[in-house]
Structure 1
Amino acid sequence: MKPFEFKYFTLHQSPLVMKVSTDSILLGSWAKTGSAKTILDIGTGTGILALLLASKSNAKIDALDISKAAIQTAESNFKNNIWASNMRVFNSSLQHFSSQEKYDIIISNPPYFEEAILSPKQEKSMARNQAGLSFKELIRYTALLLQKSGSAYFCFPSKSEESITQYAEKSALFLKKKMYVRSFQNQAPYLVLAELGFVEYETQTEHLVIYTSEKKYTAEFIELTKESYGVRF
């Protein structure tokens, strides 16, 4: 598969690992690293989220995935960039992942297909289905691994917002900020980017439209992703 060129790194892909998505690029661009010292990327895939956060922080980053193919791909991508010494990979499910420290930031672009039929290739199937990790479990384990002052960043379909918010509150996590993402101005949001934390805030709400009516990227999309993509539009 053709490598994907970002502003600060090149991402190599594998046919056995979920390819680069606009959702992940948006989430990695939107997430704030601040002064974070430790970051956990759950379900790293190609390593895209870990690398996007590495490009704007000096944090130590752990990347976790149950897929061996994903771990091999992510590890190769990490070794080919200047942040390699700050990055580690773990071939493990979240349920069996053991860490002696808690993280300042946890980030994940979780699978969306809670009831999807498994695809023929097992590696990609695990990446696309929630058979091994439900949203509920993702949030529960995130609450166990996140620093009390930390932030968790997720993206999920807009139709799942209510249930995910309820799961989060049961784990004492609250929506600090969210962004509704539309493909076009006249369409309903299809995606929510969310920042969660242990302190209950009044939720800040943002909106993003990806394309103009001429099917070109909007100014706000270009502004949000310029440090990820670089000047390429």
Structure 2
Amino acid sequence: MANTYFQFKQFTVHQEHCAMKVCTDACIQGAFTAQYLADNEITVPAILDLGAGTGLLSLMLAQQVDAAITAVELDPGAAHQATQNFDDSPWADRLTLTRLDIRKLDGGVKYDFIISNPPFYEDALKSGQGKKDQAMHATHLTYRDLLAAIDQQLSPSGEVSILLPFDAFEQFRQLALAAGFYLKQVLYIRQSVTHGFFRTVGIFSRRTVNTVIHELSVYDDQRVYTPAFVQLLQPYYLYL
């Protein structure tokens, strides 16, 4: 049975009411995105987290970026859990949770940056567990739906961070390109130096750019965290 909470250095994520628990690849997305914003000195007065789940990504960005963050989550249990995690964090004053289908968001407010760990699989077999399937599969939200929501919510100069399986990412990239979003930076993730890529984090912009490519292995060939992984997650993981 998964732990009911995950303790980070500066915050705790309770997750007993969420179908999808804290996972390494989501932590990598949060850390990589926060580092990208800091390294490029990108000022983001307002951030939107689409499909917040436990609130993990919002909390990771709040730790590193001084910005107001609005998180949107449809599932009532996850929305309640994320709200509690926000309220218990050091950044409760700039974290807001809205329970809503992202397709119904008012487009009147434009955000400077969007982050999303969306439903992963459009065509894969489902587990038969309703909430988990909704969280992992694009059952209620297709990639086109997600891109339409991003297009509506993102400011003209804004950027977006997306985490997807490696095999699905190219399909999403092509759809994003057709919608006017260009891949600015990409992180290909391996479970270890002996594995192939299994996840991809992409940062997209409305501006035509040359893509900067990064690679990351979580473990070395001795099943020890790689130095690159330690450096990336050290601000967050309790025992790094």
Interval containing the TM-score (normalised by the shorter chain): over 0.9
Using the TM superposition, give the Cα deviation of residue 99 of structure 1 relative to its aligned residue in structure 2, in angstroms. 4.2
Q: Distance in 2 between matches of 1:196 and 1:149?
A: 11
Post-superposition offset of 1:42: 0.7
What percentage of residue pairs aligned between the two structures are identical? 29
1:127 to 119, 122, 135: 135
Instruction: Report the secondary structure of 2:120's partner residue.
Output: coil
Q: Distance in 2 between matches of 1:68 and 1:59?
A: 25
2 CA distance for matches of 1:13 and 1:196? 29
- Give 1:115 deviation, angstroms: 2.6
Larger CA deviation: 121-130 vs 164-173: 121-130
The one of 15, 18, 21 aligned to 2:20: 18
Q: Which runs of 4+ in 1 moved over 2 A?
A: 115-125
Instruction: Tell me which residue corresponds to 1:144.
Output: 152
Unpaired stretches in structure 1, ≥5 consecutive residues: none
Q: What does residue 97 of structure 1 align with?
A: 105
User: Which residue does the alignment assign to 2:58?
Assistant: 50
Contact 1:211 1:217 in 2 (8 A): yes
Q: Is the 8 A contact 1:17 1:46 kept in 2?
A: no
SS in 2 for 1:210: strand
CA 1:2 to 1:162, structure 2 compared with 1: closer, same or farther past 3 Å? closer
- Residue in 1 aligned with 2:30? 28
* Cα deviation, residue 117, structure 1: 4.6
Q: CA deviation at 1:152?
A: 0.2
Equivalences for residues 184-195 of structure 1 within 5 A: 184-195=192-203
Counterpart CA distance in 2 for 1:145 and 1:35 is 17
Counterpart Cα distance in 1 of 2:174 and 2:116: 18
Equivalent of 1:174, from 150, 168, 182? 182
- 1:201 pairs with 209, 226, 235, which one? 209
Higher deviation after alignment, 192-201 or 162-171? 162-171
CA root-mean-square deviation: 1.5
Q: How many residues align?
A: 232
Q: CA deviation at 1:118?
A: 4.6
Distance apart, 1:140 and its partner CA: 2.2
- Map Cα deviations across residues 119-176 of structure 1 (whole Å, 9 max, x no partner): 4443333212211111222122212211121110011111123211111111110000
Q: What is the alpha-carbon distance in structure 2 between the residues aligned to residue 117 and residue 186 of structure 1?
A: 27
Residue type of the alignment partner of 1:133: L
With normalisation by structure 1, the TM-score equals 0.94
Other-structure match for 1:80: 88
Assess if the C-alpha contact under 8 Å between 2:121 and 2:168 holds in 1: no
Tell me by how many angstroms 1:116 deviates: 4.0
Residue of structure 2 equivalent to 1:156: 164
2:5 to 3, 8, 12: 3
Q: Which runs of 5+ in 2 are unaligned?
A: none
